[in-house]
């Protein structure tokens, strides 16, 4: 197993170097200088935001906002949705969960309207992550599973690997270890198959958490250490912080206070470098617990840091804002579901109307064919009247929605319109019925003439 891990590490290390050599921030800035006022500039700003996020989150936020402004200037809906999603991710990393959720839900709405399924996948996945960090893992799972369905339909293996890993992370937080292991192992298999550089460290860290929960501490430490090495190569300081904090928690559980302090401190430094409030809170909270009853000075010092980080993420106003956003989004999804249901009902009604419209001419044709046969006159007469009834009732059925729309559902106005229509249709129906009967009566094969009796032979007088 260790040989396999080392092999994966070497492949990822080589790939990372190759990717890093492709493009740099100065090169992107030089390209953007030539496209400051056109649509190409939006994509360049998004790339600048992604590359800046790990070490310069403030710059990442500025680039994403510039991209949003440029997209709106040129009415680029897709660019607007991408930049809003990018802003949401950067704000999430900075612990601004309320603002992050606002941008991500806005991005999802634009993508749903445009039926941008790949964009919807991204937004759903990111919204799930925000809810997970907000400790609402049940709601997070609902978004992750919607994203999983889209990823499978679109055959997006890399994104599917990320989503499966996030689902496992939610389950481990809900203390459902078996479910967590099931999904994370699927993610691990996909990421190994495609040699995914950027997301494997997170999956390995979650596997460490799972094995720690199962009591496999040595194996957990192996996963944590490989995860840190890969995350450092990716310059993912927030991922490094999370894994260091997990190691610190493991050593605290083992009663090894010095080791716990060592790794928690490294986790705190990495989180500060990435301006990552969640990592700062977890590390400082762990250090507060380790120093409790041992060193009052350090306990109070780290407690203040923990409280400040917690307040920046979970103060009452932000929680209230997130609840409001969640409520509005739930209402919007209900409206979408209602609209889809109404569209389905309309589609079924239209299909039925089309079916009736096709049936009536065939019914007339059938009557014409029967006219050429020796079918009983009363049967044909009945069917002719029935065909006219079908035609006029179909006209009534067809125009009724328009009557409702014109009358605006006012009973008096609706009655007036229907009476006016009846005054035209009813006499027309009677005239056509009378005409049809007259035609049928004059059809010779329906009224065959009786053969005349042959002339009686003149009686001859008997010969005398």
Q: What is the mean pLDDT of residues 26-39?
A: 80
d(CA 25, CA 62) in angstroms, rounded, equals 14
Q: Is the pLDDT confidence value at 62 over 60?
A: yes
Q: What percent of the chain stands above pLDDT 70? A: 78
> Residue 199: CB partners within 8 Å, gap ≥ 6?
158, 161, 162, 165, 191
Higher per-residue pLDDT: 134 or 363: 134
- For residue 328, the model assigns a pLDDT of 75
> Residue 197: CB partners within 8 Å, gap ≥ 6?
12, 15, 16, 19, 234
Q: Is the pLDDT confidence value at 190 over 90?
A: yes
Distances (CA, A) of 66 to 12, 52, 278, 375, 438: 33, 14, 26, 81, 80
Write out pLDDT tens, residues 227-241: 999 999 988 899 999
- For residue 200, the model assigns a pLDDT of 92
d(CA 100, CA 326) in angstroms, rounded, equals 12
Which two three-digit tokens encode residue 415? 């009655």
- For residue 12, the model assigns a pLDDT of 42
> Residue 452: CB partners within 8 Å, gap ≥ 6?
none
DSSP 461: P
- For residue 153, the model assigns a pLDDT of 95
Q: How confident is the model at residue 381 (pLDDT cuts 50, 70, 90)?
A: low
Q: How confident is the model at residue 15 (pLDDT cuts 50, 70, 90)?
A: very low
Give the domain ranges of the chain. 20-115, 328-445
Shortest CA distance to 420 belongs to which of 401, 443, 396, 390? 396
pTM above 0.85, yes or no: no
- For residue 353, the model assigns a pLDDT of 73
Say if residues 245 and 267 touch (Cβ distance below 8 Å).
yes
Query: What CATH class does 20-115 carry?
Result: mainly alpha
Q: What is the mean pLDDT of residues 271-295?
A: 92
Q: Is the pLDDT confidence value at 461 over 60?
A: no
Among the ranges given (58-62, 121-125, 431-435), the one the predictor scored with the smallest mean pLDDT:
431-435
Q: Is the pLDDT confidence value at 21 over 50?
A: no
Q: Is the pLDDT confidence value at 283 over 90?
A: yes
Q: What is the mean pLDDT of residues 206-229?
A: 95
Q: Is the pLDDT confidence value at 140 over 50?
A: yes
Q: How confident is the model at residue 319 (pLDDT cuts 50, 70, 90)?
A: low
């Amino acid at each position: 197993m260790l040989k396999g891990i080392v092999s994966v590490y070497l492949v990822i290390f080589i790939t990372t170097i190759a990717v890093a050599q492709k493009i740099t921030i100065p090169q992107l800035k030089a390209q953007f200088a030539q496209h400051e006022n056109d649509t190409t500039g939006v994509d360049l700003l998004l790339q600048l935001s992604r590359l800046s996020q790990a070490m310069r989150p403030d710059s990442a936020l500025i680039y994403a906002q510039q991209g949003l402004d440029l997209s709106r200037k040129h009415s680029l809906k897709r660019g607007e949705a991408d930049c809003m999603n990018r802003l949401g991710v950067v704000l999430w990393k900075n612990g601004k969960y309320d603002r992050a959720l606002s941008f991500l839900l806005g991005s999802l709405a634009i993508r749903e309207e445009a039926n941008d399924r790949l964009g919807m996948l991204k937004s759903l996945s990111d919204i799930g992550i925000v809810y997970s960090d907000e400790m609402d893992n049940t709601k997070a799972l609902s978004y992750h599973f919607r994203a999983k369905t889209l990823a499978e339909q679109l055959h997006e293996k890399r994104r599917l690997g990320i989503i499966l890993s996030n689902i496992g992370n939610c389950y481990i937080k809900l203390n459902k270890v078996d479910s967590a292991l099931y999904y994370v192992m699927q993610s691990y298999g996909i990421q190994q198959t495609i040699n995914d550089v950027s997301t494997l460290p997170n999956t390995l860290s979650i596997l460490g958490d799972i094995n720690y929960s199962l009591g496999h501490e040595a194996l957990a430490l192996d996963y944590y250490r490989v995860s840190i090495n890969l995350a450092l190569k990716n310059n993912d300081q927030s991922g490094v912080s999370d894994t260091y904090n997990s190691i610190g928690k493991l050593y605290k559980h083992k009663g090894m206070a010095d080791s716990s302090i060592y790794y928690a401190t490294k986790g705190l430094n990495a989180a500060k470098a990435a301006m990552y409030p969640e990592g700062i809170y977890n590390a400082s909270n762990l250090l507060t617990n380790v120093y409790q009853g041992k060193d009052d000075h350090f306990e109070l010092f780290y407690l203040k840091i923990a409280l400040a980080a917690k307040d920046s993420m979970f103060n009452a106003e932000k929680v209230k804002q997130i609840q409001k956003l969640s409520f509005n989004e739930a209402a919007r999804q209900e409206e979408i579901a209602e609209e889809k249901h109404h569209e389905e009902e309309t589609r079924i009604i239209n299909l039925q109307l089309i079916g009736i419209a096709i049936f009536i001419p065939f019914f007339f044709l059938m009557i014409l064919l029967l006219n050429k046969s020796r079918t009983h006159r009363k049967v044909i007469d009945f069917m002719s009247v029935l065909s006219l009834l079908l035609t006029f009732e179909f006209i009534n059925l067809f125009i009724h929605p328009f009557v409702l729309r014109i009358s605006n559902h006012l009973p008096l106005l609706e009655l007036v319109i229907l009476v006016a229509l009846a005054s035209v249709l009813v006499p027309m129906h009677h005239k056509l019925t009378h005409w049809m009967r007259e035609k049928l009566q004059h059809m010779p094969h329906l009224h065959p003439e009786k053969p005349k009796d042959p002339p009686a032979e003149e009686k001859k007088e008997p010969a005398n």
